[in-house]
Structure 1
């Protein structure tokens, strides 16, 4: 199996899904920071933007979690 084929399969592996979840969760820190700043400045528009961003992050994590459950024990890269 070539390295390129293995790399393409990484995204659909358990390890790749965990990595995607970590990267998405890391984005939550930016959203929290944006919410705090918007509340301190009483900026409603920025607060709405931050809440929508946080909702997108939560949705992304839920989708990744669902994909992780679908993978189950069928991980080809760990074996």
Structure 2
């Protein structure tokens, strides 16, 4: 599996925030890629999501579409 580029990941966040992806699967994996590419940190995600750093990716995999869109609005910048 290839790793997404920064531009691709930012475009994904924008598309999700705009409602173009209504059912992103395993969003936690997308968040892991964002952290690996230094687009954000686990600490920043934890603050945005209201969870501990240890639960960021688990929460990402269990978020509802509205929660994901809201988070992506912040990450697409």
TM-score, normalising length: structure 2: 0.30
Rg (Cα) greater in structure: 1
TM-score, normalising length: structure 1: 0.29
